[in-house]
A and B are shown apart, each in its own frame.
Chain A
Amino acid sequence: MSDNLNFLYNDELLTLKLRKLYESAGFKKFRMSKFESYDFYARNKDFLHGQRIITFSDLNGKLMALKPDVTLSIVKSADNAAGRQKLYYTENVYRESKDVHEFKEISQVGLEVLGDIDLYQTVEIIILAIKSLLEIDPDAILDISHMGYTEGLLDCLTDDIALRAELHKLISGKNAHDIVKLANSNSLPMNPVNTAIGLMVSKNSNDEAIADAVANALNARMQGAVKEISSIYEILKAQGLEKHIRIDLSVTGDPNYYNGILMHGYIHGVPRDVLSGGRYDMLLSKMGKDCTNAMGFAIYFDALDRQLHKKTADDTPVYILYDESSDINTLVSLTETLREQGTFFNAVTSLPCDAKSKIYKIKGNTTEEEEL
């Protein structure tokens, strides 16, 4: 069976493997149309981080948009009465590419759980995130953090929204020196500032990171966060997954949407995160949904493009060289035999210059084999 899949490109193969992984854990495929009313995205533009959107008018003159995101559509369609929903998707979204200042079609695979999310569901999502990364790189790393910890820490520092945003940026950039300057110029209390600086220092092990977080939890919010992350870590450790996890509580996200576990996945050879996600109950309440919790992640295939296409699909078919003198019945018989055997072939009248495989030359009704 696997031999017959050699023709698949790595991205296609990866998509199929991920679908199998998610389907086998009870996730159902979410299908959606390519466009949505522009109003919907305009209302939730914060979640899209100011992404520009491709818009067009439909036949009634209504302004529509090509989808820049899948999560919003999933949340919008969430059925409160249906109980817990476990959905995954493989979709293309349309976003602005900052590098070239043009729109790009980006392939995304991801999953979301909506409804009551207990400890088991959280662990399952994290395990699926790790397993997804391991399909790409056996040494992949998943950064795990908790919004509650950094938000709790910021509660001890300031209520000023602009200052909190600045602190967020510095903490996630591991910029200890500028935090000290900012703290001095705004007369922030030094104890939580030192905790923030301690967060940025890499720990020798996840156990050390958790012990450090426990020791430095300054309020109930921080204690709650570290308790949750610690119980999740113990479960993952028992499954032998600790070497693929990095507990790094300096990783933060947008506090308007995320409120719990945060994840960022890294693989060798790609300079940015290829997976990101977390718990986003705040988005649900913003969108007026009754279901209480939501958590998920997405894998960005645009970041993986280069990595996945390093190895190409099996593109060295057997060539069949024929000309006007070749007997057409001999030629067709040969192609049918090869097809039957599952051999990939290409019948040509002249060989491509990079041909490196076996050649069948049809001369009259005889067939000659040649290895290049």
Chain B
Amino acid sequence: MISVALPKGRLGNKVFDIFAKVGYDCDEMHSDSRQLVFTSEENGISYFLVKPSDVSIYVEHGAADIGIVGKDILLEYEPDVYELLDLGIGKCRMCVAGMSDFKDNPDVALRVATKFVNIAKSYFKSINRNIEIIKLNGSIELAPILDLSDVIVDIVETGTTLKENNLAVINEFLPISARLIANKASYKFKTEEINTIVTKFSEELSK
């Protein structure tokens, strides 16, 4: 039995559809029940849906053998897991954005609001820019509007929210996509089962 941590939401649904297509369907997942864990004994798989940023925690701590998670989460939290496949779906970009009339003043520390503290720190370190981090947990776009920060570092999918709020992308520095990760110990004991899933996934995705 392989346990899979899926991110709640659009990406999770999309990934489950692929699982179902390649032979890991689970009837319980199609029902509208309030169940938290969905198991298909015949296909040897069980799924649970968790907050996207928690997927890597479930996998690293062995509660799930494998999981699907965005590269942003992997870079931010650096969990000790195997990253076996780039699914090439759930694509977006990690960007620096600011008010559309923003002009950088290199003499003062740049105030950066973000959920992704480590990613932001390492990006600005790589370009030798002195910054102050303001850690926020949501509605990041509000920070430059209220002058809480000069810029934000966040994920941009379509850019619509930015535009509607008179914000603009200053720099795209990291492409993001969904990755299939595995717990290191689970991989030792369930190598074949996990590799079969990886192979079937990459075949399906390359169609």
Residues of chain A touching chain B, judged by Cβ–Cβ distance below 8 Å, are 139, 141, 143, 173-175, 177-178, 202, 246, 266-268, 270-273
Task: Find out whether the CB atom of A143 lies under 8 angstroms from the CB atom of B185.
Answer: no
List, in ascending order, chain A residues with CB within 8 A of B186's CB.
Answer: 271
Does B72 make an interface contact (CB < 8 A)?
no
B residues 160-187 near A (Cβ < 8 Å) are 183-186
Min CB–CB distance A99 → chain B (angstroms): 9
CA distance A143 to B191 in the complex (A): 13
Q: How far is the CA of A246 from the CA of B184 in the complex (A)?
A: 13
Interface: B60 (CB within 8 A): yes
A115 to B60: give the CA distance in the assembly, Å.
37
Known: A202-B195, A270-B185. A173 touches B82 (CB 8 A): yes
Interface size range of chain B in the complex: 10 to 19
Secondary structure at chain A's binding surface: helix, strand, loop or mixed? Answer: loop
A143→B188 contact, CB < 8 A: yes
Quick one: which of B35-85 are within 8 Å of A by CB? 60-62, 80-85
Top 9 closest pairs, chain A to chain B, by CB: A271-B62, A177-B86, A175-B83, A174-B82, A266-B188, A266-B185, A141-B188, A202-B191, A173-B83
Query: Contact string, B184-202, partner A, CB cutoff 8 A, digits 1/0?
Result: 1110110100010000000
Q: With A177-B86, A202-B195 in contact, do A271 and B188 touch (Cβ < 8 Å)?
A: no
Residue with the highest number of chain A CB atoms closer than 10 Å, among B83, B184, B195: B184
User: Hey, which chain B residues are within 8 Å of A173, CB to CB?
Assistant: 81-83
Assembly CA distance A178 to B74 (angstroms): 13
CB contact under 8 A between A178 and B86, given known A202-B191, A270-B185, A272-B184: yes
Among residues of B, the one whose C-beta sits closest to the C-beta of A142 is: B188
With A202-B191, A202-B195 known as contacts, the answer to whether A271 contacts B185 (CB < 8 A) is yes
Q: What's the Cα separation between A178 and B191 when bound, in Å?
A: 21
B60 in contact with A271 (CB, 8 Å) = yes
Which residues on the B side are within 8 Å of A174 (C-beta)?
82-84
**Assembled-state Cα–Cα distance A175/B189 (Å):** 19
The chain A residue sitting closest to B82, CB to CB, is A174
**Chain B proximity of A87: nearest CB distance (Å):** 29
CB distance from A199 to the nearest CB of B (A): 13
Of the candidates A143, A175, A178, the one having the most CB atoms from chain B within 10 angstroms of its own CB is A175
Q: Among B84, B86, B185, B195, point to the contact of A273 (Cβ < 8 A).
A: B185
Cα distance A267–B185 in the bound complex, in angstroms:
8
29 contacts between A and B (CB under 8 A): A143-B188, A173-B81, A173-B82, A174-B83, A175-B82, A175-B83, A177-B83, A177-B85, A177-B86, A178-B86, A202-B191, A202-B195, A266-B185, A266-B188, A266-B189, A267-B185, A270-B62, A270-B185, A271-B61, A271-B62, A271-B183, A271-B184, A271-B185, A271-B186, A272-B62, A272-B80, A272-B184, A272-B185, A273-B184
